Amino acid sequence: MASSPSSSSFLLLLLAFLAASAAAASLDGYIHLRFYNHERVLGSGPDATVVYAVERRRGSTAGAGFGNIIIYDNLLRAGVEPDSPIIGRNQGMGVGSSMAENSGLTNFQLVFTAGEYNGSSLALQGLFPVAPLGTVFERAITGGTGRFRLVRGYLLTTEVRSTNTTLTGQLDAYITFR
């Protein structure tokens, strides 16, 4: 039995739809990445710096006092150890935005300079509370560039190590591709 022109057109349309669906499905997905933010709070090298202080909270030594603006450019490493491989940078800013607590609003980029995601970045924003070691807090992943174009997700941060000169945070990124 020969196929009619309409059934051939339908078959071609169906195959084109299935191919497009398969291509779109390959862009969908979910990944979990873990890396470490290494911040030097004193001394030379990359550090967080209060660039403009409006008001310093009484009894607070942290830069997150209400109205303070903090600009930072910290190292992202593959591990918690200070000599673990550098995979990128955490570049952004924070503003002390709470009069009731020592916390601030952050807006930053995780810029990858090595490894599988070299040349890509994640854009994030959210609240950063000044809290005891081990406290977990969440910020939104609002997009990205390169391999992370059009992603969404969230970042869980846990401060895991603190010295007089450094602060190390474990960053767990849960990323959904559209």
Give the structural domain span for 87: 29-177
132-146 pLDDT, tens digit each: 888 899 999 999 999
The answer to the question of residue 73 being in a domain is yes
Please state which of the ranges 23-27, 28-32, 152-156 shows the lowest mean pLDDT. Answer: 23-27
- The domain that holds 33 is classified in CATH as 2.40.480.10
The answer to the question of residue 160 being in a domain is yes
Which residues, 6+ apart, have CB-to-CB distance to 150 below 8 Å?
143, 144, 177, 178
Tokens of 145: 């560039």
Please state which of the ranges 14-18, 94-98, 99-103 shows the lowest mean pLDDT. Answer: 14-18
Strand partners, 39: 167
- The residue ranking higher by pLDDT, 158 or 57, is 158
pTM greater than the 0.85 cutoff: no
The answer to the question of residue 141 being in a domain is yes
Q: Can you tell me the distance from the alpha carbon of 72 to that of 44, in angstroms, rounded to the nearest whole number?
A: 13
